[in-house]
Amino acid sequence: MAGRALLALVPVLAVFFFSVRDVASKSFAISNNCEYTVWPGILSSAGSAGMDSTGFVLAPGESRTMSVPTGWSGRLWGRTHCSTDDATGKFTCVTGDCGSGRQDCAGGGAAPPVTLAEFTMDGSGGMDFYDVSLVDGYNLPMLVAPQGAAAGGNCAPTGCMVDLNGACPADLRVASTMASGGVACRSACEAFGSAQYCCSGKYGNPNTCRPSAYSLFFKNACPRAYSYAYDDATSTFTCAGGDTAYAITFCPSTTSVKSGGQNSAGLPLMNDTMVYLAGDQVNAAAARHSLVVVLLAFAVSMALTCILH
């Protein structure tokens, strides 16, 4: 009897084993390479299993690895310039605040402008889909790099490795006494609220909503990141399902990946004419030159937009 009962349990144990293995098969290794503290925030999509944490703190140089449930979808971002009010005990952040009043976001999303990493695990065809989006603006550099992925799909690092806060156009810049060059860079949608920039109303489809001079500012700096709502062709990445780990790095060094690395669409991961955050990568003269190049390109784009319209 005992033997038969044990044999009957074998299929159940096998299902349990593989279920547990699948739940823990993917992971996020989240690292803070910034010279300042970052508070990652995490929001799971409706109907998706939750993560172990929805918000925590990473001091400069710190990392945290998290298991990712099978089929998880959601977004992850970094909050900056956070503090707790001594009188009320309320926790708030200047950028990326999720409105919970606590370090954990507890179901709250990121207030723009913010750099977002977006994921759908085990999606269509068993593929993982991921991107880094600047559609809601930008607050800090971020890199998403798959590790240990099986062959297949457009499986490549993506992100925005550039410090855009200093080069941000004046009408998009979020100023603060905490940083002389601004703390974030808004999207044109947030800054102006027009249907054209927000891809809404009659502009709510890829035929009528086209790149603007503002979205091109982001795209030219970060070629693989989403720059506006219909930027799918060059900004969505996929990895074959399996035991894939994703390294998510705030303020990545340009040595994290080869600067000339190409994805299957032929796009570089970053634009070498831009200013990088890490202090060992450009000297002051090069930084000033890069900033002039960026602002000149933006001015030309704006002029062309005015002429065409």
Any domain includes 4: no
- Strand stretches in 121-167, DSSP E: 127-133, 142-147, 158-160
Any domain includes 75: yes
Half-sphere exposure of 150 (CA within 13 A, CB side): 10
Any domain includes 57: yes
Average pLDDT over residues 14-18: 39
CA distance 106 to 127: 28
User: For residue 218, what are the contacts with CB-CB under 8 A and spacing of at least 6?
Assistant: 134, 138, 160, 164, 225, 227
Average pLDDT over residues 292-308: 48
Residue scoring higher pLDDT (11 or 200): 200
- Going by pLDDT thresholds of 50, 70 and 90, the confidence category of residue 15 is very low
Domain assignment of residue 124, given as a range: 24-308
- Give the per-residue pLDDT at 60: 97
Residue scoring higher pLDDT (78 or 176): 78
Count how many domains the chain has: 1
Element (H, E) at 305: helix 284-308
CA distance 173 to 166: 9
- Give the per-residue pLDDT at 25: 75
Any domain includes 288: yes
pLDDT for 60-85, tens place per residue? 999 999 999 999 999 999 999 999 99
CATH code, 31 = 2.60.110.10
Any domain includes 134: yes
Residue scoring higher pLDDT (148 or 78): 78
- How would you label 129-154 residue by residue, b for 16+ Cβ within 10 Å and e otherwise? bbbbbbbbbbbbbbbbbbeebeeebe
Any domain includes 172: yes
- Going by pLDDT thresholds of 50, 70 and 90, the confidence category of residue 257 is low
Any domain includes 3: no
Over pLDDT 70: what percentage of the chain? 72
Average pLDDT over residues 101-127: 95
Any domain includes 12: no
